[in-house]
Chains A and B, each alone.
Chain A
Amino acid sequence: MTKRRVFVRGVGAYTPLGGTWPTTVAELVTGATAIRPITRFDASGFPCRVAAAIETPFPDEDRRLPYTRFAAREAWEMARLTVEPARLGVFLGAESGRCHWTTALGLARAGRGPNNTFDHERFAREAPAFADRIDASVISPSAVAAALALEYGAHGPVETVSLACASGSAAIVEAARAIRLGQCDVALCGGVGADVDPLMLAGFGLLSILSARGISCPFDAHRDGFIIGEGAAMLVLSAERGGAQVELAGIGRSLDAHHLTAPDPEGDGAARAMVAALHDAGDPVIGYVQAHGTSTPLNDRIEVGAIKRALGAGVTAAHVSSSKGALGHWIAGAGALGALYAWQAVNAGTVLPTAGLEHPDPTCDVAHVMGRALAKDVDAAIANAFAFGGANSCLVLRRAT
């Protein structure tokens, strides 16, 4: 059975470097970075005090919906298509939204019993006062996709993928699958991350995976951790080609089944996901790899090994870069941002650089894109997304013919 093809009809982004994807690209091609000291709240006590944050007029609200709304609108306007409500689906990579940190701590305080243990009766008595500040229709992981479905009149499948750092990529995979299966004809899909806040700084700080130096420099010999970023990246996928120059040709997923935070040292799971996506796309020659490239010592070295294994001799034809040097790690939105980098390479021949990369680690010996963007004719590109817990998701974008 021939599977339906899936075309990229529109893309959009809301990032710390620009309100649209083109304005963001205009900055990215120069090697600019959005990583700055955190000013949204007092970060002086935290182990990492920088982030790629969006200057926002709504710092105390859940920011996922406004970010996604901007990106979706841009992608939708670019797509210029009409679709029956029942044939439109929404697929989004997102984690839980955030209440104000004082509300979270207030909830914890509501249950504080003798000797600092949890008192259920006290919690039941006092928590409602705080719960009133937490609207599940706003902070639930599915709230953003639900709101988009309402705004775009989507009556087809509406899905929220919560797969940590692979969420955005996996949501695009689900959208492509739904189109291939005929469950919808058009999909609004992508991912959002809005994690520059005290609770996430605390959470990732607990894992000791943020850069102590405050620098994101994927594949650099001096890398020491990642920097949190935020934003939304959205795509409109369609079974009809229209004017699309790029198609989503391959999807692949795997689990490391190895460790909660560390990647499989052999990169086996990552390589399997890449191979699956390449095979699904008909094993095209890959000219560009948008790496997961977190700037952590382990990930980058292991990922390069996996890239070499998956591409084999074809690795010599591929340039490699990571979005996280310029825009930080968007967590649930990262995989979707990676898809836009890959789309940019195939659609416009613009291979965006790895900001912050100055001294490539000898163990990461692939053809890096450093400094400024590279002009290159790219027929096919692969975008990687690897999550805590070992879930891997890969997308192959190819020039539509």
Chain B
Amino acid sequence: MRPVAIARTAALSAFGAGARGLGRALVECAALPGLPAETPLANPRARKMMSPAAYLAARCLVDLLGDAGWTDGRERIGYYLGVGASAGSLDDFMALLEESLVDGAYSLERFGQRGLAACNPLLAFQLMNNFTLCHGAILEGLGGPNSAVFSRGAGTIAAFGEAVYAVASGECERAVTGGADAPRHPATVEELARDGFLARGLVPEDGAGLIALEVAIGGEIVVEGCGVASGRGRPFADAMNDAVATARFGEQVQLVVIAPWGPPAADALHSWTAARCPGARVVSTAPLGESLAASAALAVIAAADLLERSQRALVLTLGVDGDPGAVVLARGVA
């Protein structure tokens, strides 16, 4: 297996556009100077067919590929993304609803006969979860191995692991990975409220984070391992221990970046870190809010930004699904 390095990163977050400086901005709680607000898409008309998350991913992808200079061989570049449940325009649902009423009551017959016709025929392209990945891939011509892993946190680390493996095993030479999500969609906000996350301090924020991976040559930030574990029905610490074991975590880290969904998760991650990584500098992505499928990717990007030479970093995630994830990064470590 070949060593895999982080070549470039790109991010859109509550702090603004841009990945360089994201870690430092987190430490200082400062907004990034940012890239231009609207990076043009190759096909601007495609915007109408995109969910908010798909648009964030596509914009980020344009920035990433441009910054990495990956202009050729795109049909062989892998693309692995953590994705949320894409949400369509509620105006479209409204039109569908309006045509489905007979004397103020729902009618399935009318729903089939007229609701369809009243709806934007592009609605379906906003609803499918995998289109968060596919819109960008089509616009930018990425044609390699791929996956869209549903993510409320750990799924993005799973997608990251897939991408690392694809490059390490030679399935592809280069891969893009990360996550994008739009939890500020009204329906998602209601879902998070219903499940009690808002009351417990979750602050939903839209976001996207993408990471370009390639075979390591030397001197770059190398991915030493990543892992996820099921957190259901057992103590958090046990689950996190399994995740970091899969990530080949070896205790010697100088930096820990945690991505908690909210205060209770932050407490759990801080406690685990204090016990297992005493003395390490700890940075939290909490100031970015919770971006569901994007949060873990933003944490990896922040760690890459803060990691200094001869240091090793551990990224720990705990999303609303309760499954922990872990990534180990190293810069210039023998």
Residues of A within 8 A of B (CB): 1, 41-47, 86, 90, 94-96, 101-102, 104-105, 107-109, 111-112, 116-118, 120, 123-124, 127-128, 130-132, 134-137, 140-142, 146, 149-150, 154-164, 167, 170, 173-174, 177, 181, 183, 198, 201-207, 252-260, 268-269, 272, 276, 387-391
Contact = CB atoms under 8 A, between A and B. Distances in A.
Contacts of A86: 229, 242
Interface in B86-126: 90-91, 93-98, 100, 106, 108-116, 119, 121, 123-125
Interface of B, secondary structure class, is helix
A337 to B, nearest CB: 18
Contacts of B85: 96, 140-141
B149 A198 contact: no
A390 to B, nearest CB: 6
A206 B187 contact: no
Contacts of A90: 230
Interface in B132-176: 133-135, 137-138, 140-150, 152, 154-155, 158, 162, 165, 171
A260 B94 contact: no
13 contacts: A41-B108, A116-B94, A123-B190, A135-B194, A141-B129, A159-B155, A159-B228, A170-B147, A204-B124, A206-B124, A252-B145, A255-B144, A258-B138
B124 A181 contact: no
Interface of B: 1, 49, 74-75, 79, 83, 85, 90-91, 93-98, 100, 106, 108-116, 119, 121, 123-125, 127-131, 133-135, 137-138, 140-150, 152, 154-155, 158, 162, 165, 171, 186-187, 189-191, 193-195, 227-230, 232-234, 238-239, 242, 246, 321, 323
A174 B121 CA distance: 33
Given A177-B165, A201-B112, A128 B193 contact: yes
B229 A155 contact: yes
Interface of A, secondary structure class, is mixed
Contact of B232 (A104, A130, A132, A146): A146
Nearest to A44: B109
A42 B129 CA distance: 28
Given A141-B150, A256-B143, 11 more contacts: A107-B93, A127-B187, A137-B195, A141-B85, A142-B150, A160-B150, A161-B147, A163-B146, A198-B111, A252-B145, A390-B137
> Most chain-A Cβ atoms within 10 A of its Cβ — which of B124, B227, B228?
B124
9 closest A-B pairs by CB = A45-B112, A389-B134, A108-B93, A46-B112, A162-B129, A45-B109, A45-B113, A253-B145, A131-B190
Contact of A111 (B124, B186, B228): B186
A260 B147 contact: no
Contacts of A42: 108-109
B145 A254 contact: yes
B143 A269 contact: yes
Contacts of B234: 155
Contact of B229 (A156, A177, A258, A387): A156
A390 B134 contact: yes
A181 B184 CA distance: 37
Nearest to B124: A203
A131 B193 contact: yes
Nearest to A177: B165
Contacts of B94: 108, 111-112, 116-118
Nearest to B229: A155
Nearest to A95: B129
B228 A116 contact: no
Contacts of A127: 186-187, 190
A117 B134 contact: no
A105 B129 contact: no
A155 B238 CA distance: 9
Contact of B116 (A95, A134, A137, A205): A205
A132 B196 CA distance: 11
B49 A112 contact: no
Contacts of A117: 91, 94
Contacts of B144: 254-255
Given A95-B129, A198-B108, A105 B97 contact: yes
B134 A158 contact: no
> Most chain-B Cβ atoms within 10 A of its Cβ — which of A86, A157, A391?
A157
A255 B137 contact: yes
> Most chain-A Cβ atoms within 10 A of its Cβ — which of B94, B195, B233?
B94
